[in-house]
């Protein structure tokens, strides 16, 4: 029986259709390598990043694995003066996920989610299923049924 992550169980209970990818038997780590291994467009495979503002509020962002989060644009998107990436060692405590397995679905608490605007170009997007080695693919509309989000230009400039 294939592994079911908490993300998959949440999607199942909401009766949302999704596709899964398992690369757990590979030595792939980086988002770009995951996209290549899965033979998917790196602009359609998203990584989940967690930041903290001076206000101590946490914010979650999803950007294509081929892009870098622009912290200034991200701060503007959420109405903060500045944001910093949270230290990797705090990720588990804040989200319930470890580095490389962080998903916007099923975090310990609900945090405001902003997704790079390029997601609307795609019928489906791919992102972590909440465990290193597993990804899920679903429509942005279906993601919004589980975790409401806003679309915004939050990546460092490049032609995307």
Q: Quick: pLDDT tens for 85-136.
A: 999 999 999 999 999 899 999 999 999 999 999 999 999 999 999 999 999 9
- Total-model pTM: 0.94
CB atoms within 10 A of CB 116: 25
- Predicted local confidence at residue 32, as pLDDT: 87
Integer angstrom CA distances of residue 25 from 19, 77, 134, 154: 18, 37, 10, 32
Residue 20, pLDDT above cutoff 90 = yes
Lowest mean pLDDT among 66-70, 104-108, 139-143, 154-158: 154-158
Q: Quick: pLDDT tens for 26-78.
A: 888 888 889 989 999 999 999 999 999 999 999 999 999 999 999 999 999 99
């Amino acid at each position: 029986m294939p592994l079911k992550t908490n993300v998959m169980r949440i999607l199942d209970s909401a009766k949302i259709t999704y596709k899964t990818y398992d690369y757990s038997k590979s030595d792939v780590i980086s988002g770009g390598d995951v996209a290549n291994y899965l033979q998917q467009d790196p602009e359609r495979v998203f990584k989940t990043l967690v930041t903290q503002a001076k206000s101590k509020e946490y914010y979650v962002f999803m950007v294509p694995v081929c892009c870098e989060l622009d912290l200034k644009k991200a701060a503007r998107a959420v109405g903060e003066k500045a944001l910093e990436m949270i230290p990797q060692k705090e990720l588990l405590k804040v989200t319930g996920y470890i580095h490389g397995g962080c998903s916007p679905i099923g975090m310990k608490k609900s945090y405001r989610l902003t997704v790079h605007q390029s997601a609307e170009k795609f019928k489906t997007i791919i992102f972590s299923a909440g465990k290193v080695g597993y990804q899920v693919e679903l429509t942005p509309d279906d993601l919004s049924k589980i975790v409401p989000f806003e679309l915004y230009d939050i990546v460092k400039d490049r032609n995307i």
